[in-house]
A and B are shown apart, each in its own frame.
Chain A
């Protein structure tokens, strides 16, 4: 059922945000139905074809036609049926903006950008966003992160003996989830860079949420504040390379921040996995123990499909795989759908916050892909994918596939200590972690001990 909304009758369907070439794309759809074969949300909602790209494009074109088509020009525009617009809004938000539809589109429609341009129009009209997504602007505007956590405690997880500089040419942008909810990843990243003698800085309380959730859900009002703040903070520290262990942050920093920042951006955005692969290739990495698991890799949409044309396929898809394959003991196998044809975990595009049951069903489908190849561990380079896939597993019966980050796998294989120091957010940790003795590692699941104040889950 469509959410009950106040009727914004009289407001125009589009008030900005859509480029003229995007309006052209609406007429470019040949209705070949290819997108329907790949859409991850339609795959788990087969009774709702209207949520697929082909139907959404047709509907939006019809709505636009009723206002700006030939008939409207001759006889005047039709009055909107607000129920119809609310249904269309729901259909538009039943999408993780994963972009597989754009990858397979015969007309080459850039669908991610199209959905992300439609949504702010629906928000401006009063129809969007959807469900709890509406909390994002208030949360980020007040706390600068989606967890209502203190910015001053962003680095509370850094081990006392770790070296994090005040300023450096290399920066590690941890992201909100690693800083407050999956600290094992943040600790592993810092340990790894220290062990490899990579001098780096972090922004600490100056690291604000990347604001991915705002862009994805069409709520762009405070986006600029966050983009400008983060870019300026990195520039102030003289950074030339920013490393990300979060796909969502990396996508937003690479594609979205420059659209809001008016000055020159002097640094490069690089996935941590790419930087680490170079260290392996140059022989600087010494493996201490094998990880005897059958491992697969889930490509996050945000640093895979979304960035493959920016950074190239090798950076987008191969670096994490190369790392996993070089870890002793790892038996690597890809799932049936991988790289640019990967199946989205279901969390992106605001779906995790707005339509959690849909996110969960997508995650179960992805976990099913891992079970088909009998994987012990499904890895990723996105804390948000990890969160959702773990939730999917919890909702399945008898599934014991573990979910880890590539960085944590590498850290454990190098014999580094990834114990999280005691901090105020320990009780909110919920993740699979590698627990190792001298030669053997096993994966354990840390259960969350307190509910925390996660109004919207996590934010990408």
Chain B
């Protein structure tokens, strides 16, 4: 089924992706440099250096040795131990969103890579690339549902719990609303294209499918990639780095 609509071509999409990734990488560099404004030690002066931030982070993260780093990475970053200690519900929510988001991002990257192989028939692997994309339908579905599950808890939590609701700011609304919107449009896009592994082509609609796919792609790129370094989404990068730098925290 046609994917490109409204005059978009494969080349335009690739060019847009490169631009978006460029903005994302610059955003990360910008933040690292902003953090690098700080000092490298307790009584040291301000440094204003990207590389000294990297060096300081490595120094802090490995201060107690490689095993503490690995243990922190597994228990506190990958398994979110600190969240589990405080609230099992929030842990389930965060785990679902964390792994749903990360896996979908990785699958999207892999999908783009397969598109490129297929388009240029690199090494004569166009057919195999198409097959790989077929295999990706099930994981796309499963991790999509996982993200939907997590983001639904997150949204409901903000609605149902009075204390949480009263302290919810525009900052939180943009983040959660964005995640929820991208997840929902992703499902619609898949259903309309008839690609859903679980539902098949029950809702397939060749007329609207390309538009929805485009809408979903634009939202995903805009929110997750372009806006990430300049918003609360940055915690996706900064929180794991913080946990590692503080060797698991207090």
Q: In the complex the two chains form, what is the Cα distance from A33 to B171 in whole Å?
A: 14
Whether A18 contacts B34 in the complex (CB less than 8 A), given A102-B249, A105-B82, comes out as no
| A 306-341 to B, binary, CB cutoff 8 A, 1 in contact else 0 | 001100000000000000000000000000000010
For the complex, is B146 an interface residue (Cβ under 8 Å from A)? no
In the complex, residue of chain B having the shortest beta-carbon distance to the beta carbon of A34: B86
Q: A305 contacts the other chain (Cβ, under 8 Å)?
A: yes
Contact of A20 among B57, B232, B237 (CB under 8 A): B57
Which of the candidate stretches A23-31, A137-145, A163-171, A392-400 sits at the interface with the other chain?
A23-31
The secondary-structure label for the interface of chain A is helix
Residues of B within 8 A of A443 (CB): none
Question: Nearest A residue to B45 by beta-carbon distance?
Answer: A16
**Is B76 engaged at the interface, CB distance under 8 Å to the other chain?**
yes
Residues of A close to B243: CB separation below 8 A: 28, 107-108
Q: Beta-carbon contacts of A58-99 to B below 8 Å, as 1s and 0s? A: 100000100011100100000000000000000000000001
Q: Is B235 an interface residue (CB 8 A)?
A: yes
B250 touches A23 (CB 8 A): no
Q: Are B90 and A24 in contact (CB under 8 A)?
A: no
Q: How far is the CB of B239 from chain A (nearest CB, A)?
A: 4
Say yes or no for A17: interface residue by CB 8 A criterion: yes
A21-B56, A21-B245, A109-B249 known; A104 and B86 CB under 8 Å?
A: yes
Could you tell me if A24 and B250 are in contact, using CB atoms closer than 8 angstroms? no
Across-interface contacts of A25 in B (CB, < 8 A)? 238, 242
Complex: chain A residue closest to B55, CB-CB: A20
On chain A, the number of residues with a Cβ less than 8 Å from chain B's Cβ atoms is: 46
What's the dominant secondary structure at chain B's contact region?
helix
B34, B171, B237: which contacts A58 (Cβ < 8 A)? B171
Q: Does the CB pair A20–B241 fall under 8 Å?
A: no
Known: A15-B46, A106-B82, A107-B239. A20 touches B35 (CB 8 A): yes
Count B interface residues, CB 8 Å: 50
A19 to B38, CA, bound (A): 5
B167-A14 in contact (CB<8A): no
B36 touches A20 (CB 8 A): yes
Q: Is A259 an interface residue (CB 8 A)?
A: yes
Q: If the complex has contacts A24-B35, A24-B57, A108-B249, are A36 and B167 also in contact, measured as CB distance less than 8 A?
A: yes
B 83-124 to A, binary, CB cutoff 8 A, 1 in contact else 0: 100110010001000000000000000000000000000000
A19 touches B242 (CB 8 A): no
Q: Is the CB of A20 within 8 A of B39?
A: yes
Cβ-based interface call for B140 (8 A): no
Task: Please give the distance in Å from A264's CB to the nearest CB on chain B.
Answer: 18
In the complex, how many angstroms separate the beta carbon of A111 from the nearest chain B beta carbon?
8
Answer whether A24 and B242 are a contact pair too, CB < 8 Å, given A16-B46, A17-B39: yes
B234 contacts A103, C-beta separation under 8 Å: no
Which residue in chain B gives the minimum CB-CB distance to A22?
B38
Closest-by-CB residue of B relative to A30 is B235
Q: Does B144 contact A (CB under 8 A)?
A: no
Smallest distance from the beta carbon of B90 to chain A beta carbons, Å?
7
Q: What is the CB-to-nearest-CB distance from B104 to chain A, in angstroms, rounded to a whole number?
A: 20
Q: Which residues of A contact B249 (CB under 8 A)?
A: 102, 105, 107-110
Q: Which residues of A contact B57 (CB under 8 A)?
A: 20-21, 24
Q: How far is the CA of A32 from the CA of B86 in the complex (A)?
A: 10
A49 to B169, CA, bound (A): 13
Closest CB in chain A relative to B34 CB, distance in Å: 5
Shortest A212–chain B CB gap in Å is 16
Contact B239 A30 (CB under 8 A): yes
For residue B249, which residue of chain A has the nearest CB?
Answer: A108
Residues of B within 8 A of A104 (CB): 86
Contact of B90 among A23, A32, A64 (CB under 8 A): A32
State A97–B52 Cα separation when bound (angstroms). Answer: 28
Please provide the chain B residues from 56 to 79 with a CB less than 8 Å away from any CB of chain A in the complex. Answer: 56-57, 60, 76
How many Å lie between the Cα of A253 and that of B123 in the bound state?
66
Q: How far is the CA of A111 from the CA of B249 in the complex (A)?
A: 10
Q: When chains A and B are docked, how far (Å) is the Cα of A103 from the Cα of B86?
A: 10
The answer to whether B235 and A110 have CB atoms under 8 Å apart is no
* Cα distance A17–B245 in the bound complex, in angstroms: 17
Is A109 in contact with B242, judged by CB distance below 8 angstroms? yes
Most chain-A Cβ atoms within 10 A of its Cβ — which of B169, B249, B250? B250
Return chain A residues, CB-CB under 8 Å to B241.
Answer: 24, 28
A19 and B56 contacting across the interface, CB-CB below 8 Å: yes
In the bound assembly, the distance between CA atoms of A308 and B230 in angstroms comes to 36
B250 touches which of A28, A108, A259 (Cβ 8 Å): A108
- Chain B residue at smallest Cβ distance from A55: B167
Bound-state CA distance A421–B154 (Å) is 64
Can you spell out 7 A-B residue pairs with CB atoms less than 8 angstroms apart?
Answer: A14-B38, A20-B56, A22-B38, A24-B242, A28-B238, A103-B250, A106-B80
Q: Nearest 9 A-B pairs (CB), nearest first?
A: A108-B249, A20-B38, A28-B242, A27-B238, A28-B238, A108-B243, A102-B250, A107-B239, A20-B53
Residues of A within 8 A of B (CB): 14-25, 27-34, 36, 49, 54, 58, 64, 68-70, 73, 99, 102-111, 259-260, 305, 308-309, 340
